[in-house]
Each structure stands twice: as structure tokens, then as C-alpha cells.
Structure 1
Amino acid sequence: MPTDVTAADAATIALALRKGLRSLAKAVVVITCRHGGQRYAMTATAVSELSMDPPSMLICVNKSASLFAPLSQGADFCINILTARQAEISALCAGKEKGEARFSVGDWRQSPLGHAYLADAQASIFCRSVANTMFGTHGLFIGEVQEVIDLAPIDPLVYMDGRYGCFAAGLGTADRR
């Protein structure tokens, strides 16, 4: 924390940031990994493409999440982008259930690479863990993309202002010829 920001100022800024971020709509994903023979799953929105050369993804995971320890030890991971019909899976993996019970709903399968993935997700992005760093309460994990399973039509589950929603196709689109 910069020396000119007091703890009280930092708390006020964090509260304002949390409120401001409620207006940022994000696709909902479930990040999975396998480590020590156990499957892990966690709902997240702090996921982003990092680079196309090499193709890579960035995920941010709270240090208190069960997924944090295996990722910190270099576990490869899969980013499953949920469809609008998969809010129940998101809720299970966001803390409603723990451990293996998070895989009780949905068509979960194992890829040839050993990843647990959701077969009917909007897309599943399989990543080899290549780097990580810690910042504040979170770990930032970079994965080099090894494979992508992409289903159509596009109908992602979206999270904003503490609620699930879906993308309204066609709104705000222009002729891009």
C-alpha cells in the first residue's frame, strides 16, 4: 500500500471499488483442476485472455479458495465458460457445495490431458500452468492454452450486480461490413 494512503482510506477505496465493480458484467466460468488424484472446481469471473502469441489465459484465485493450493503447486487447469442454463453449476462451485459434490450436476468428463471439464459448457479452455504470482489476497495464474472445445450457439451465463443474467444478442450491434 502506498505510504500516503491510510488503512482507513484503503478500506474506503476497497468499498467504493467493490460497489463500482457491481456494474461490470462478466461471463461466469468454472475453473477446474486435478491434483493428487482429487478434482477441484471453483466459480470465477476474474478470468481473462492474456496473449495470442503464445495463446494464454490469466485466472485470479483467492488464497482462501480450495483451488488455490493445487494451482500454487503447478496444477494445470481448465476454464469452463458456462451457458445461461448453467446457473445451478455456478452456485454449486461458488460455495454451495464442497469438494467432489461440486461435480454432482452437469455433464463432467475427463479430457485425454486429465482435466475435468464440463462437456456442455459454452467453451472449455485447457491450460498448462506456466507461471504464477501473488498479489494481496489473490494468486494470479497464467496458463498456456493447449486445447479449446467450443460449442455454438453463443449463450453465456453473465454475472452483474450480484445476479445472474444472459446476453441479449443483437442489442447494440452494427453492420460491420
Structure 2
Amino acid sequence: MDAIDTMTSERFRHALSRLGAAVNVITTAGPAGRHGMTASAVCSVTDSPPTVLVCMNRRSGSHQRFRDNGTLCVNVLAGHHQALSTRFATPAEAAARFDYDHWTELVTGAPVLADASAALDCRISQVSDVGTHSVFFCEVVGVSLAAQAGGLVWFDRAYHALGTG
């Protein structure tokens, strides 16, 4: 094993590229407008009340919109959503991100990808700042599930499809 006792941001990011993570498109709508971004820093916190967390860089153009709207939807992507994920991760595509897929709404009005493997519609209940990022704690108020499960994972800087979706 290659052991190095010097911690750098680059070394840390390289190590975390080995931590597989679900790929999600996080969306919002409200007074600050409709917006979305690709994120893998999402996880469950508790089921009572149903809560997830989403980590977001405070320097991103998305951050303030999510904070101002106070809502978000975690759209869990399936294997066939690679192009969608890339579009929502590319700043040059920001104006056209919602143009190519079918979007609906649940409770909060945040855009829900109609064929997402799962969608978690949330109200942001708390925000904590840590280093360069904010951690959004989000109470889940609505859920949508696809008929067939499927997943899209980011591992070792590449997409990997899981399941049948």
C-alpha cells in the first residue's frame, strides 16, 4: 500500500475518488428561480423525521439559489442518465439544463425528474457551514419511485451503471 503521511487537497480528492457515490441531480424552484446541479455528496441522516443531507460548495453559482428558495429535490439518477448528469454539471449548459427531459413537481415545487430512479422532495430545515461547503439538512416531504430500480454511481472518476434502470 502506498502510504504518505503528508495530507494535501489533491491527495485527499484522489483518495475520495475511490469512495463510490450515487449520482444525483439536485433541483430547486422558488423566489430565486429554477436551478439544478449534479451532486454526489448526498446521504441519509434519519428516518424520523425523514431527513437527508446535501453538501454544496458555497462558491458555486447554485448555492445561494438553493439557500434562498429553501427547497430542493434529490433526483437519484439511473444508468441511462449519464448525459443528463453531465449537462447539470457543466456551467455552459446552465440555461438549457431543463430543456431535454420531462419534469414534474411533488410538494415543494422543486423540479422532479419524471423518470428518476427515486426523487426526494425536501424543505431545507438547517444549514451548517464547514470549510468551503454548506451542509443542507433537508426534511423529505414527498417521494417518487420509478417502477424499476436503477442507479448511476461515480467511482474512480467514471460513471458506472447499477441495476436495470
Unaligned stretches of 5+ in structure 1? 1-8, 170-177
SS in 1 for 2:26: strand
Partner of 1:132: 127
Question: Which whole-Å CA distance do the structure 2 matches of 1:74 and 1:134 have between them?
Answer: 17
**Corresponding position: 1:105 with 2:100:** yes
**Corresponding position: 1:53 with 2:41:** no
Q: Which amino acid aligns with 2:156?
A: D
Q: Which amino acid aligns with 1:89?
A: L
Which stretch of structure 1 is more off in the superposition, 97-106 or 119-128? 97-106
* The structure with more radius of gyration: 1
How many residues end up aligned between the 2 structures? 159
Give 4+ residue runs of structure 1 displaced > 4 Å after superposition: none
What are the residue-to-residue correspondences of 1:1-177 with 2, within 5 Å?
A: 12-36=7-31, 38-73=33-68, 75-95=70-90, 97-167=92-162
Q: Residues 63 and 98 of structure 1: is their aligned pair in 2 closer, same or farther, counting only changes over 3 Å?
A: farther
TM-score by structure 1 length?
A: 0.83
Shift of residue 96, structure 1, vs aligned partner: 5.0
Question: Which whole-Å CA distance do the structure 1 matches of 2:14 and 2:163 have between them?
Answer: 24
Shift of residue 94, structure 1, vs aligned partner: 0.4
1:39/1:99 contact within 8 Å kept? no
Q: Which amino acid aligns with 1:17?
A: F
Identity %: 30
2:28/2:111 contact within 8 Å kept? yes
1:84/1:156 contact within 8 Å kept? yes
Q: Residues 98 and 69 of structure 1: is their aligned pair in 2 closer, same or farther, counting only changes over 3 Å?
A: farther
